[in-house]
Amino acid sequence: MEHLPILVLVISFICLLSIGTPVAWSIAISSLLTMLVSIPAMPAFTTVSQRMATGLDSFALLAIPFFVLSGELMNKGGIAHRLIAFAKTLVGSFPGGLALINVIAAMLMGAIAGSAMASASAMGSILGPEMEKEGYSKEFGAAVNITSATTGLIIPPSNVLIVYSLASGGASIAALFLAGYIPGIMTGIFLMIVAAFWAKKKKYKVGKRSSLKQVGKTFIDALPSLFMLVVVIGGIVTGIFTATEASAIAVLYSLILGFIYKEITLPKLPQILLDSSATTAIVMLLIGSSMCMSWALSYENIPQDISSGLLSLSDNKIVILLIINLLLLFVGIFMDMTPAVLIFTPIFLPVVTKLGLDPVHFGIIMVLNLCIGLCTPPVGSVLFVGVGIAKTTIEKVFKPLLPLFIAMIIALFLVTYIPQLSLWLPSLFNL
């Protein structure tokens, strides 16, 4: 009977997912069933509803709807075209130039919009047809787009890092944002190396070298968009405003930019607000239900049991981090990133902190790890967006995806075992 709550939780959650229940409701219902094992029905129902509500009662979480809205405004405001044009002048003449453009533009777009879905959608619809025209296979184009889109979740501003800050009990959002830069850029570089080798092997066409004048022109065109990074991240790091205030400034900045570029008009605004509201509602429901499951796990002492179990296997930091990474890679296949961060942070963070790991460093490990899950079936949302836009199938995309997965896993293990890749920038600012 001692392990009954964890059995009820795991079995009910898997069964609900297998019959097609949405992830948020699967989490909430399995949490309720777990609590019904230990406490009477009325307190269990009351606790579930209370925890879902109080889980969203956080000032930091206000940043999410604002960043979602700013990402939507950026996506519809002509930002992607200008970033692609700038990236084209930088790397268009290298082997696999269009694939490299996709990676760089996705990193910039993700850094500005903070959304892997927005990046995959924008880059796929703009660059996909162009890559096909130049002789690239649509499967290779989709694979590059899918994997590069996830870099925007590590490079700030990132909604997932805000969620991790909440789940960790107060890891600094500013420190997490700074910590994401080097791992995110490094992952992008690894993806570019693999893409260049693949393109050279397949003998894809190489573009013309751009003149300094063209580089300068496209840079000036993209500069207002890139300047948003300076405003948002610079303001947070220097303490001028909080992450939540920065997200509101990002909305105002992207709205003004969209009107200046004449890509956003007043008649388009209601649909943009509606789309961002729908995305926010999904994210917030996931957060509320995940906070409920976190409480149920804590009530049943499950994190402490797992922590003791892991530490009983070994007290070697390298071994424990390897086990946690393998578990998170497995979790990422079946669970969306937001609930995974909220549920597994309270489980694994006590383990790694006992081994002397910095919570900021672990946050980057966790997010980078779960980014890989966004590119894998059956739950990989970015995978489905990328495949859908490219009008191909997962089976056909899998072959070119495999070497890109390996590049992401190599980046993950470097970040895991070299803490300074994450902690160097925050330490420069005493965060």
Stated pTM of the model: 0.83
Helices 302-313 and 337-354: crossing angle in degrees, nearest 10, is 50
| Residue-level pLDDT at 212 | 80
Amino acid at 68: V
CA–CA separation, 208 vs 25, rounded Å?
52
- The fraction of the chain above a pLDDT of 90, given in percent, is 16
pLDDT surpasses 70 at 111: no
Mean pLDDT taken over the chain: 83
Which range has the top average pLDDT, 102-106, 373-377, 411-415?
411-415
pLDDT surpasses 60 at 1: no
CA–CA separation, 392 vs 383, rounded Å?
11
CA–CA separation, 213 vs 215, rounded Å?
5
pLDDT surpasses 80 at 210: no
Write out pLDDT tens, residues 134-151.
788 888 888 988 898 888
| Residue-level pLDDT at 193 | 92
Distances (CA, A) of 214 to 204, 211, 221, 222, 224: 23, 5, 11, 12, 17
Within its chain, how far is the Cα of 93 from the centroid? 30
Domain layout of the chain by residue ranges? 1-54, 59-283+301-428
Report the alpha-carbon angle 79-375-169, nearest 5: 85
Report the alpha-carbon angle 402-139-225, nearest 5: 95
